[in-house]
Chain A
Amino acid sequence: MGRSERALSTGPGAGLGESIERSEAERAREALWTAVTVYRWAALAWMIGLAATVEGGLALPGLGWPALAVAALWTATASTRREASLLGAWTELVLAFALVVLSGTVAPPGAVATARPFFATAWPVAAVAVWGIARGPFGGIAAGLSIGVALTLSRWTNEIPPWELTQVEVQTLVSGTLVFVLAGAAVGLVGRLLERSAREYRALIEVTMRARERVARSEERESIARQIHDSVLQALALVHKRGRELGRAPSVPGPEVTALADMAGRQEAELRALIVREPEAPSGGRVSLRSALEEVARAVDGIATTVSATGALWVPAHVGDEVALAVRQALDNVVEHAGATRATVFADRTSEGMVVSVRDDGRGFDYHEAGLQAAGKLGMLKSMKGRVEALGGAMHVASSATGTEIEFAFPVEGQ
């Protein structure tokens, strides 16, 4: 049964897949973010180094150094975060934009437009990369283009209006912009690829889980099919075949039809027992006394037997077996000797344990051990009594002309 419950619950499987996708995508973004953080520190060091060694010093040190301090502050702040937020991406882009534009004013006039390393070009790459992580390749490209605009403006602030740039200077500007755009696009693409592979990974896991589930289900179906085939299908086939033959027969033999109906009835009960589960769960190693007694009632031929019980009545397996055997003997006895039409097996809880009674509407007998022994009828009764006494219980017999009630009372540990 445990297997069927697991096989039927598809919910947790899908949930697991989702959490895998989320965690994989998160891990991918975190790895990129860590790389950007490291890069940002390296770029900051490079930028400070270049600014310190700029030929002739910074034009406006009072503006340049505080600007670098702001960049350093942001580098430190961003290091404490674990992923790119949209607000952080905007902040960093605005800072990078301002730094590039400002670099035109603080650098020696005309220095920005040359091809030699310029101190404010490395650090803004981090801002572009952050946009790539947060908004994919197009976010990265857009951020790269906006840094390109800042580069153009930096020529202006460096006292060279864009229209006065030489052809080489324009080429330097365009290639500088292209580097930013490419960086943004590349980081964005890598981020998207990592996410997609996480999604594919999840899909793969789902397929695997579904396949496993299918195997479990087909195993269960096979085991049920085996049980059904063993008895129910064969009985049905027989009922079908014999039923048709009897229908064609000129006179219908009553006992044979009854036997056929009985067989169908037993199969119905068995099939039902196969599919109906006990609603209450037994605690370790216990069996339902009611189920055990119902099984006995089904197995006994020759008398209509009803089982009634006050609940499932859980007992240790060996107690259930012994009591079921005693009841079986009692019912066999009824069939053999009592001439009864009905028997009822009733099981109930008591303060000390449980009590099971087997009652029939037969002719009754005189329960007198010596007399019964003389008549050779004591054997079965003694055997039942022995079983119950071995469990620490007792057997009582009350018999009259209208029927007999045999009662088995026995203790049940940890009831």
Chain B
Amino acid sequence: MSEKPRVMIVDDHPVWRDGLRNDLTARGFEVVAEAADGGEAIEVAREAMPDVILMDLQMPTVSGADATRLILEESPHIKVLVLSASGEEADVLEAVKTGASGYVLKSATSDEVAEALVRVGAGEPAFTPSLAGLVLNEFRRVTGGTARRPEPTLTPRENEVLTLVAKGYTYREIAEKLFISVKTVQNHVQNILTKLQMRKRYELMRYAIQKGLDRVPD
């Protein structure tokens, strides 16, 4: 394991936050801040400047997806790892499209959470099989680009990599299977995420055009 990132925990359940903090502290992570709501998270993150934020999705007032977008607009170097309950696929996808680096289920083991934190802290997306399934499905939807700027789609190779991630293969296994380096697999995954976030922009753009707004949010 490489260096451990400084972590901030955002969750509206105090018991859950306590458990998570004790667990992470025991594993040598530095928990630098906590917040009980998305709105609070935006302010706390501005002061604490953590490396990684563990973000709950369903919270009162400001949701985890909204908080993620606002925090990343202000501080793009902060990484967000979504910690979600099952059955929130749509919200997870929304958070990832707005810039979250991945998600871990709340039912995951502490080992898995720690591993994902280190991975995200090192700048790699935490791409679980379930997330890969959601993203594959997302890329099959037509969101609408223009003739001059067609909406981003996956290359056959990216599609292949994503499908293997969804099937539960590790990056190393994918690299062996496709006769490429692990670094190349990581690049593919990073590109897929970038395209996903671009699609979010296309969605916003199309929304703006539909609504007759002439200024596109940037």
Contact = CB atoms under 8 A, between A and B. Distances in A.
16 contacts: A265-B107, A272-B87, A306-B129, A307-B130, A308-B130, A308-B133, A308-B168, A310-B140, A344-B167, A344-B168, A346-B166, A346-B168, A348-B133, A348-B166, A359-B168, A405-B167
A388 B167 CA distance: 19
Interface string A323-346: 000000000000000000011101
Nearest to B88: A276
Contact of B169 (A269, A310, A343, A359): A359
A309 interface: yes
A309 B136 CA distance: 9
Nearest to A268: B107
Nearest to B137: A310
Interface in A372-404: 402-403
Interface string A260-279: 00000100110011001001
A272 B132 CA distance: 22
B168 A310 contact: no
Contacts of A346: 129, 133, 163, 166-168
Contacts of A268: 107
Contact of B128 (A276, A279, A306, A361): A306
Nearest to B131: A308
Top 4 nearest A-B pairs (CB, nearest first) are A344-B168, A308-B133, A276-B87, A310-B137
B20 interface: no
B26 interface: no
A310 B90 contact: no
B61 interface: no
Interface in A237-278: 265, 268-269, 272-273, 276
B168 A343 contact: yes
B167 A402 contact: no
A75 interface: no
A307 B132 CA distance: 11
Interface in B62-110: 85-87, 90, 107, 109
Interface string B165-197: 011110001000000000000000000000000
Contacts of A403: 173
Nearest to B109: A304
A307 to B, nearest CB: 7
B107 A269 contact: yes
Chain A's interface size range is 20 to 34
Counting chain A CB atoms within 10 Å of each CB, the highest count among B90, B131, B140, B166 belongs to B166
B166 A308 contact: yes
A357 interface: yes
Contacts of A269: 86, 107
A142 to B, nearest CB: 56
Nearest to A305: B168
A311 interface: yes
- For B90, B133, B136, B173, the residue with the greatest tally of chain A CB atoms inside 10 Å of its CB is B133
B107 A357 contact: no
Given A269-B86, A342-B168, A306 B163 contact: no
Contacts of A265: 107
A269 B200 CA distance: 31
Contacts of B132: 308
B136 A310 contact: yes
Given A359-B167, A405-B167, A348 B86 contact: no
A306 B173 contact: no
A310 B133 contact: yes
Contacts of A347: 133
Interface in B122-138: 128-134, 136-137
Nearest to A306: B129
B133 A309 contact: yes
B161 to A, nearest CB: 14
A357 B130 contact: no
Nearest to A308: B133
Interface string B130-171: 111110110010000000000000000000000100111100
Contacts of B166: 308, 310, 344, 346, 348
Interface in A351-365: 357, 359, 361
A111 to B, nearest CB: 78
B101 to A, nearest CB: 18
B204 to A, nearest CB: 22
A272 B168 contact: no
A287 B131 CA distance: 22
Nearest to B105: A306
Contacts of B85: 272
Contact of A348 (B90, B109, B131, B163): B163
Given A308-B167, A311-B137, 18 more contacts: A265-B107, A268-B107, A269-B107, A272-B86, A272-B87, A294-B86, A306-B128, A306-B130, A308-B132, A308-B133, A309-B133, A344-B129, A346-B129, A348-B133, A348-B136, A361-B168, A402-B173, A403-B173
B90 to A, nearest CB: 7
A82 B125 CA distance: 73
Contacts of B140: 310
A346 to B, nearest CB: 5
Contact of A306 (B109, B134, B136, B168): B168
Contacts of B129: 306, 308, 344, 346
